[in-house]
Amino acid sequence: MRDQKKHTLRWHPAFYPGIQIEFQIESSRLDFIHEYTLGTEPVRTDMIIIKKTNDEPLRKNIGKIFRRYNIVEYKSPEDYLSIDDFYKAYAYVNFYKAYTGAVDEIKITELTLTLVCFHFPSKLITHLREIRKYNIQPISPGIYKIIGDIIPMQIIVTPRLSEKENLWLKNLTNNISDSDSIGNLLADYDLHKSDPHYRTVMDIIVRANSSKFKEEVHSKMCDALMEIMREEWKDELDKVRVAAKNEALVTGHQEGLMEGRKEGLAEGRKEGLAEGRKEGLTEGIKALISACRALGASKEDTALQLMNGFSMDQESAQANISKYW
């Protein structure tokens, strides 16, 4: 199960809106470009953040070193920031300077490099200190400034960030251990759930930490998960329910007319409605199971959704999953 999760979780698409959430207050001053192609060669950096005006510094803790053009490289919780990753990202800065605009249009003094990772890169930091002779200075929780190069550089280790300042970037992980963090995420998500950036990041966090969400906040986890999933299957389920209701009304009316009696009409409608509801319920169950499966939910999580959404016991939920999965 763990290996399967590694193949289905897509961290980079969640990192992009996650870092935009971090800079939300100052977002009007920045342009965020994902997977920027450097020059004519197929070389891409994960993100470049461009300050629209290069006047006053940013106030955000992870953006204090930013100048005009800021290269950002990201390593997910399932990856590691290596020595060669540093040189590759360092090359991206030089590529951007050399292949953007006219000769020397982009000044080297306008560029910075930010390396974002989950695991503390001890081997890389040792290399930078001993081989490159850089000074690595922690300037705030989780943020390490690399001093000694013309290019301002920093390493951001996301689990060590301040939860108060970097709630979403800190918790973009598959290893949330603090129940307070889950509560803070759900509370902030509830205030911004219409924002697609928050929805994307919350989706990957819930998927990557589903057992912890279930353990700590059963009902709240379900609300958050259903909120994320609802748009995926709501239209389909609503159509099924409307169709079933219409079919039930027509069937009942036709049977009632055939009887030609008032009692027969009422009974026919009653039976038609009952049969239509039964069929609609079955289609609704099938639609929910199909949506959960398409979204990569486990059978255990799907059973929980059936139990909550259709008021069925665990045995019935498992039977329906076995039948329609």
151 and 231 share one domain: no
Mean pLDDT of the chain: 79
Q: Which residue has the higher pLDDT, 276 or 101?
A: 101
26 and 78 share one domain: yes
Q: Phi/psi at 260 (nearest 5 deg)?
A: 70, 10
| 137, part of any domain | yes
Question: In the numeric block, which tokens belong to residue 93?
Answer: 């800065």
Going by C-alpha positions, the residue among 73, 14, 82 that lies closest to residue 38 is 73
DSSP H or E stretch at residue 64:
none
pLDDT of 3 reads: 45
- Of 143, 162, 177, which marks where a domain is finished? 177
Cβ pair 213, 178 in contact under 8 A: no
173 and 267 share one domain: no
| 213, part of any domain | no
Cβ pair 107, 152 in contact under 8 A: no
Tell whether the model's pLDDT for residue 53 goes beyond 50: yes
pLDDT of 269 reads: 53
- Whichever domain contains 44, its CATH number is 3.40.1350
Percent above pLDDT 90 for the chain = 34
Q: Where residue 307 falls among pLDDT bands split at 50, 70, 90?
A: confident
Scored b (16 or more CB within 10 A) or e, 188-198 reads: ebeeeeebebb
Q: Find the mean pLDDT for residues 103-121.
A: 95
pLDDT of 79 reads: 92
Instruction: Tell how far CA 238 is from the center of its chain.
Output: 26
- Of 114, 142, 177, which marks where a domain is finished? 177
DSSP reduced 3-state for 105: coil
61 and 156 share one domain: yes
Tens digits of per-residue pLDDT, 254-284? 555 555 555 544 555 555 555 656 666 777 7
Range among 14-18, 98-102, 286-290, 302-306 rated most confident: 98-102
20 and 132 share one domain: yes
The residue segments making up the domain with residue 133 are 2-177
pLDDT of 5 reads: 46
168 and 87 share one domain: yes
Q: Find the mean pLDDT for residues 174-191.
A: 86
162 and 19 share one domain: yes
Tens digits of per-residue pLDDT, 119-168? 999 999 999 999 999 999 999 999 999 999 999 999 999 999 999 999 99
| 211, part of any domain | no
- Say if residue 170 is exposed, middle or buried (CB neighbours under 10 Å; 0-12, 13-18, 19+): buried
Q: Where residue 206 falls among pLDDT bands split at 50, 70, 90?
A: confident
Q: Find the mean pLDDT for residues 37-43.
A: 56
| 75, part of any domain | yes
Question: In the numeric block, which tokens belong to residue 33?
Answer: 């470009």
Cβ pair 166, 160 in contact under 8 A: no
126 and 227 share one domain: no
- Of 120, 149, 177, which marks where a domain is finished? 177
Q: How far is CA 47 from CA 113, 224, 308, in A?
A: 10, 28, 40
| 194, part of any domain | no
100 and 26 share one domain: yes
Instruction: Tell how far CA 110 is from the center of its chain.
Output: 31
Q: Phi/psi at 104 (nearest 5 deg)?
A: 55, 25
HSE-CB for 308 with a 13 A CA cutoff: 16
- For the chain, percent helix, then strand, then coil, each to nearest 5? 60, 15, 25
15 and 156 share one domain: yes
124 and 236 share one domain: no
pTM: 0.62
Going by C-alpha positions, the residue among 309, 274, 315, 313 that lies closest to residue 289 is 309
For the chain, the domain total comes to 2
| 198, part of any domain | no
112 and 242 share one domain: no
